[in-house]
Amino acid sequence: MPRSISLFENVTSSDIVAWLDLIARLDSPFVLLREDDVGAVTCTSDTARHLMRKQGAFPDPIKIGKRAVAWRGSDIAQWMREREVSKLAHSTSEQTEQSAPAQPKTPPTTKARAAVLAANAGAVA
């Protein structure tokens, strides 16, 4: 199984090919993933997935037996695509903020301003 890929680390072209291959293999309604497989593919814990499901941010599993559930590969592939797109949008906005001109600092306090004025007055005199 290919390792997980994050847009925030140095990614090689072979990593991207492996990630796209994984998505293509999962993107089928006939592929079913059990709990451990979903955790390995998405790099999420059981608790994180449960919390995301409660918030509507992660696909719900389907029942495949009396006490067994699985996720459709296509649902997980779609979730992974959406997550990467949101990461890309987030990293792009961070880059824009970093490249924006620095905002002026807040004005100094009264004591600091008085000290600067006194120092400048002493230097002028």
Q: What is the per-residue pLDDT for 22?
A: 74
Instruction: Give yes or no for a contact between 23 and 17, defined as CB atoms under 8 angstroms apart.
Output: no
Q: Which residues pair with 24 in a beta bridge?
A: none
Q: What is the per-residue pLDDT for 1?
A: 46
For 70, the enclosing helix (H) or strand (E) is: strand 69-72
> Can you tell me the distance from the alpha carbon of 17 to that of 84, in angstroms, rounded to the nearest whole number?
15
Instruction: Give yes or no for a contact between 77 and 27, defined as CB atoms under 8 angstroms apart.
Output: yes
Average pLDDT, the chain: 74
Instruction: Give yes or no for a contact between 59 and 74, defined as CB atoms under 8 angstroms apart.
Output: no
pLDDT < 50: residue spans in the chain: 1-2, 4-8
